[in-house]
Structure 1
Amino acid sequence: MDFHATEGWNRRELIRGTAMLGAGAMLMRPLPTLAADGPMAEIRKAAEAGKEASVQRLREWIALPSIAAENRNMPEGAAYMAELAKDAGFTNVEIVPTDGQPGVFGTIDVGAPRTLGIYFMYDVKQFDPAEWTSPPLEGKLVDKPGFGLSMVGRGAVNQKGPEATFLAALHAIRAVKAKLPVNIVLVCEGEEEIGSPHFRQIATRPNILAALRKCDGIFIPASWQDRNGNVAVNLGSKGVIELELVASGEKWGRGPKGDIHSSLKAMVDSPAWRLVAALNTLVTPDGNTPAIEGWFENVRPLTDREKSLIREAAKHLDEAQQKQMLGVQHWIDDLPYEDALIRLAQEPTVNIEGLVAGYTGPGGKTILPGRAVAKLDLRLVPDQTRAEAEKKLRAHLDKHGFSDVEMNVSGGYDPTETDENSRLIRAELATYKRLGVQANINARLAGSWPGATFTAPPVSIPAGHFGIGHGSGAHAPDEYYLIDSTNPKVAGIVDAAIGYAEFLYTLAAIR
């Protein structure tokens, strides 16, 4: 559904999802009913009754793609996020301006002794409809073998599906007029997919900072159960820098300022080859280890405890299944699985996201390009910082004679770390145990999110991920989120909503 086609509708009714979901797969309830009576049993009934509205709410959110990299639907995305928050019971909801795209903030204050922070993002990655087997904005329901009926769409799992499911939990709790066991602070941004360049402005705004500092912790909703139902409790995440390197005849003073005929290569320098030469200095010949001067000065190795956590988690993971899902046959250096997982957590990386120069259409076009661009992401580990890494990359390029190569940083943030003895992590582990879900403590997530904004001063609270359910294909074609599970070990949308509700009660009760 095109979002602009809904402008004549009542927005609140749209968000509530009044349309009905078509018949789908029979839900197999994989999780134990957590209480035979009391509020959780009633909350489950309300979540089941509200399932169709929850699914439609997600579908219509997917239909509005906010893409920061394209400056697409950003004001509309923030306004829609604000309405979703209000409809789920948040008050004092405000759209927060930044030097970039706006964020959203809201609270639910029930006078509870404890407060939980929730981080949302309303932006999604770019997409090319030609690469999808199902239209990326339709939210079509498709069967995924081994999991069940799933909604396909851009943002389905990253992050609108898990976020919509958390909202579904709040709707279910409100529907039975149960009092929330904790206060909730919601902070949301629209630039996560470009490295959160202005998110700190949101989190440190005086009223938002004051609210966040009252929180026992903050998490981003996640739906990462594998086929065996396992989840990870992450004690940190790598930091990231997103940037592009640009070589051009204009800046270099050699080569053409624009594209010229390729026959002239015999007497004219090539900016494209210059960029390739610069890139080759950034890594070892195999491309697997950063070679930037001083890059490892502040890299803190994993502790023995962290390595033991990874080895223990490996016992519950399926290496063959992971290779199949990733489409790979070997790990770097043909490492054994445990060692590959340790390397995944421990090593900083220099990755080429994309290379663009000259003509890339069908057939050939004999030109010598005047400009070449490489898009990179650099993953950082403790005790590296974004500021240090940017400075060292620039110094490296200059030292190797590439001072003309432009370095345009679009966003990024430092690594995140959270103490495994924090109340947030203990509540996660206790909730998973109560749900009957195998939880593996992960020393460090190889991916990145702006959790360092919360764990570092001035906010200084624990931050992590929590949730059950399943989805896959983030940043890729045919991204999906599980709605009706046919796998008895994996939660569908109703059970995932109950998982969030259970976490709220666990956090309120845990010592």
Structure 2
Amino acid sequence: MANLVKIYEYLEEHKLEHVAKVQEFLRQPSISTENKGIRECAQLLKEYYRKIGCQEVELVETGGHPCIWAYYHAEAPKTLINYCMYDVQPVAGETWTHPPFEAKLVEKPPFKLVVMARGAYNSKGGYRMWLNALEAILAVEGKLPVNLMFTAEGEEELGSPHLAQFIHQYKERLRRADAVLNTGPSQQIDGSIRMAMGAKGIAEFELECSGHLWGRGPQEFDVHSSMKAITDSPIWRFIHALASLTSLDGNTIRIEGFYDRVRPPTEEDLELIGQLEKTFDPEVWRRTFKIDRWVDDLQGRELLMKFIYSPTLNIQGIYGGHIGAGSKTVLPHKVACTLDIRLVPDMTVDEVMVKLRAHLDKLGYTDILIRPLAGYPPAKVSHKTDIAQAVIQMYRKNGIEPQIWPISGGSWPMYLYCKDPLQLPYCSGGLGHGGNAHSPDEYLVIEGDGKVAGIVEAEKSYVDILYNYAHSEP
């Protein structure tokens, strides 16, 4: 049996070293949309896998940013797949208290010490803590309790357009695994745990309206705004087209047949919703996201059902003409926007894109261009599997009864692991807390506050999950 006490002591004794390793990973930029530091970060991650003794470590070229395959063979009876995204969101146009790639240790009330950096929470900070935990096990025990297959991508923030190519390349190896485990800081700011057993799918795309494609308005360049008296405007046409996609409040999607394939909740889902009603506190989200009121002032069960089971249509940004400070009197010749659709079971990317095209064509907007960017379907698993129970057991050991959600509001390419071609059970978890993902002053807690775990307690939780699973009955 493993000496968990000695592993815990090792983590405590090497706290400063482990914090420094988190900072090192965060100081390496890896902005996938700008191809900034991506290959350098991939090389750094390769070195991390080598240092924990992986017998195989390969940089795998794709049609985009590289993936990484690594394998640690412990001669153990069980094998886990571990997923990693090493890319992060851009920081341009954001105002940070400290430079986003400095990874500075600062106070952020109510926490005495956090590391502030892009990727601190989503998701490089927590991933380096996971590697720290593996190093601690190896230092004390000499080997890990399970075999590990590491699959890392650098395009999650782009919609994972080449992850399927990578998974297909290694699918025969990956099929030998027993389950998929993701680890990361999963506590909310009050210390509670929201444990999602699924992820929505996503379709990301651009819409573009131009005088050239429309055959009206400026054809090649922006013109003086005085010409509006006798010239059609692609931007006004675009605004009306966008407005047709939803109700006036923007909360009901008006594309014909859009909701037709939305799957109703299962009996297991409804049991989980019943438990969530007793523990879910929307005030935590209000404080975290600085949102005062929800759609239609929903509360309780209705709020949960809306969040979990509703597909969404969101405008990420609109760009065209003069978007800088001050005035520039032009009539733009082109306008575009980026949108995303969150998909719930059993919706598909192809289906919603066909319906979007039909909607625009029916209203006469045949000239508006749809430019697909990335997308993948939703996925969902049971919380009754061995890997999920290993995570739940860890939470209960720490006095936490997790909120188990049937599906999260966000998206990641879980389908490649839990549906074809692998069809494996999956779970994600771990103590610790971070915040401001995709926002300025993103952070990861280093010193906890009694409710939220700090780095040492978070790394101990990863150790517990591995040994819980390794010792579970097959």
**Equivalent residue for 1:413?**
376
**Equivalent residue for 1:330?**
293
Residue 398 (str. 1) matches residue 361 (str. 2): yes
Structure 1: unaligned runs, 5 residues or longer? 1-36
**Equivalent residue for 1:193?**
157
1:130, distance to aligned residue in structure 2 (A): 5.0
Cα distance change on mapping 1:408 and 1:129 into 2, 3 Å: closer
CA contact (8 A) 1:216 1:423 kept: no
1:342, distance to aligned residue in structure 2 (A): 1.3
Following the alignment from structure 1 to structure 2, what is the Cα–Cα distance between the partners of residues 370 and 187?
A: 44
**Equivalent residue for 2:184?**
222
**Equivalent residue for 1:212?**
174
Following the alignment from structure 2 to structure 1, what is the Cα–Cα distance between the partners of residues 263 and 400?
A: 32
CA contact (8 A) 1:307 1:342 kept: no
Pairing of 1:461-480 with structure 2 (within 5 A): 461-480=424-443
SS in 2 for 1:233: strand
Following the alignment from structure 1 to structure 2, what is the Cα–Cα distance between the partners of residues 200 and 491?
A: 35
Q: What do residues 336-366 of structure 1 show as CA deviations (whole Å, max 9, x unaligned)?
A: 1331121000100000111112112221111
CA contact (8 A) 1:117 1:212 kept: yes
1:187, distance to aligned residue in structure 2 (A): 0.2
**Equivalent residue for 2:12?**
48
Following the alignment from structure 1 to structure 2, what is the Cα–Cα distance between the partners of residues 203 and 314?
A: 37
Pairing of 1:59-208 with structure 2 (within 5 A): 59-128=23-92, 131-205=95-169, 208=170
CA contact (8 A) 1:240 1:412 kept: yes
1:171, distance to aligned residue in structure 2 (A): 0.8
Following the alignment from structure 1 to structure 2, what is the Cα–Cα distance between the partners of residues 380 and 65?
A: 30
Moved more, 262-271 or 432-441: 432-441
1:220, distance to aligned residue in structure 2 (A): 2.4
Moved more, 327-336 or 389-398: 389-398
SS in 2 for 1:412: strand
1:163, distance to aligned residue in structure 2 (A): 0.4
1:161, distance to aligned residue in structure 2 (A): 1.1
Following the alignment from structure 1 to structure 2, what is the Cα–Cα distance between the partners of residues 491 and 374?
A: 40
Residue 346 (str. 1) matches residue 309 (str. 2): yes
SS in 2 for 1:351: strand
Following the alignment from structure 1 to structure 2, what is the Cα–Cα distance between the partners of residues 473 and 393?
A: 32
1:38, distance to aligned residue in structure 2 (A): 5.4
Following the alignment from structure 2 to structure 1, what is the Cα–Cα distance between the partners of residues 278 and 49?
A: 40
Q: What do residues 391-450 of structure 1 show as CA deviations (whole Å, max 9, x unaligned)?
A: 222222222222211111211211011122222222221222223222111011000111
What code does the residue aligned with 1:176 have?
V
CA contact (8 A) 1:262 1:366 kept: yes
CA contact (8 A) 1:229 1:438 kept: no
CA contact (8 A) 1:173 1:180 kept: yes
What code does the residue aligned with 1:243 have?
F
**Equivalent residue for 1:447?**
410
What code does the residue aligned with 2:68 have?
V
SS in 1 for 2:279: coil
Residue 282 (str. 1) matches residue 260 (str. 2): no
Following the alignment from structure 2 to structure 1, what is the Cα–Cα distance between the partners of residues 214 and 396?
A: 60
**Equivalent residue for 2:447?**
484
Pairing of 1:372-387 with structure 2 (within 5 A): 372-387=335-350
CA contact (8 A) 1:118 1:218 kept: yes
TM-score scaled by length of structure 1: 0.89
Residue 423 (str. 1) matches residue 423 (str. 2): no
SS in 2 for 1:315: helix
Following the alignment from structure 2 to structure 1, what is the Cα–Cα distance between the partners of residues 290 and 202?
A: 24
CA contact (8 A) 1:231 1:440 kept: yes
Over the matched positions of the two proteins, sequence identity in percent amounts to: 40
Among candidates 258, 261, 269, match of residue 224 of structure 2: 261
Pairing of 1:276-315 with structure 2 (within 5 A): 276-315=239-278
Following the alignment from structure 1 to structure 2, what is the Cα–Cα distance between the partners of residues 194 and 429?
A: 31
Following the alignment from structure 2 to structure 1, what is the Cα–Cα distance between the partners of residues 232 and 44?
A: 51
Following the alignment from structure 1 to structure 2, what is the Cα–Cα distance between the partners of residues 125 and 222?
A: 18
CA contact (8 A) 1:47 1:172 kept: yes
TM-score scaled by length of structure 2: 0.96
Number of residue pairs the alignment of both structures matches? 472
Moved over 6 A (4+): none
Among candidates 298, 320, 326, match of residue 283 of structure 2: 320
Moved more, 362-371 or 174-183: 174-183
Moved more, 405-414 or 190-199: 405-414
Following the alignment from structure 1 to structure 2, what is the Cα–Cα distance between the partners of residues 406 and 70?
A: 24
What code does the residue aligned with 1:336 have?
Q
Following the alignment from structure 1 to structure 2, what is the Cα–Cα distance between the partners of residues 502 and 405?
A: 53
CA contact (8 A) 1:108 1:184 kept: yes
CA contact (8 A) 1:358 1:367 kept: yes
1:42, distance to aligned residue in structure 2 (A): 0.8
Following the alignment from structure 2 to structure 1, what is the Cα–Cα distance between the partners of residues 229 and 213?
A: 21
Residue 496 (str. 1) matches residue 458 (str. 2): yes
**Equivalent residue for 1:27?**
none
Following the alignment from structure 2 to structure 1, what is the Cα–Cα distance between the partners of residues 2 and 90?
A: 44
Moved more, 380-389 or 141-150: 141-150
CA RMSD in angstroms, aligned pairs only:
1.6
**Equivalent residue for 1:248?**
210
**Equivalent residue for 2:468?**
506
Following the alignment from structure 1 to structure 2, what is the Cα–Cα distance between the partners of residues 314 and 69?
A: 39
1:210, distance to aligned residue in structure 2 (A): 2.3
